[in-house]
């Protein structure tokens, strides 16, 4: 079982929204590297839910993959924010996964705090210049972050 980290802007989907929904589709990823990580996801993989572009950016909870990657329907919706004119029913460049809520942390593990952890030095999230919205988390990093809750 693998571990991941996925970023969401809370104005788009917050951990509270996620908790209320229980299960949802994770779509709209429009970066090839992030997409490729999504395609490597398998049911029962777990991920940290990260709030980005907000007052308190950081890790706020945990989710689980319930369905492996499939063509992202949002790329085919001409009225939607994630429409991609270069994708079609036959050839959709983008992928979505289905995810379920697992846990919300009692407090935000702020990015400034995570950057202070030597155990997380290699996590792309804290590395300068990295803006991946979906990334792998090693077993060691997973445990280190769990211990910070």
Partner DNA sequence: GCCAACGTTGGC
Binding site for DNA (CB under 7 A): 7, 30-33, 52-54, 57, 86, 111-112, 115, 128-133
Kindly state the smallest distance separating residue 34's Cβ from DNA, in Å.
9
3 or 7: CB nearest DNA: 7
CA-based R_g, the chain, Å: 15
Strand partners, 136: 4
**What distance separates the 2 farthest-apart alpha carbons in the chain?**
46
Kindly state the smallest distance separating residue 44's Cβ from DNA, in Å.
25
Beta carbons of 4 and 45 less than 8 angstroms apart: yes
Kindly state the smallest distance separating residue 50's Cβ from DNA, in Å.
7
31 or 67: CB nearest DNA: 31
The single residue listed with the structure tokens 């951990």 is 15
59 or 65: CB nearest DNA: 59
Half-sphere exposure of 93 (CA within 13 A, CB side): 14
């Amino acid at each position: 079982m693998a571990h991941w980290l996925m970023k969401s802007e809370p104005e788009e989907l917050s951990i509270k929204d996620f908790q209320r929904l229980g299960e949802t589709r994770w779509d709209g990823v429009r970066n090839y590297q992030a997409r490729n990580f999504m395609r490597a996801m398998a049911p029962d993989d777990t991920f940290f839910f990260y709030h980005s572009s907000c007052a308190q950016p950081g890790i706020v909870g945990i989710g689980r993959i319930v369905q492996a990657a499939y063509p992202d329907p949002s790329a085919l919706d001409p009225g939607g924010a994630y429409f991609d004119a270069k994708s079609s029913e036959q050839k959709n460049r983008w992928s979505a996964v289905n995810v379920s809520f697992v846990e919300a942390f009692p407090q935000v593990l702020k990015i400034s705090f995570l950057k202070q952890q030597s155990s997380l030095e290699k996590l792309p999230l804290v590395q300068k210049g990295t803006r991946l919205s979906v990334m792998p988390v090693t077993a060691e990093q997973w445990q280190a972050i769990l211990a910070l809750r």
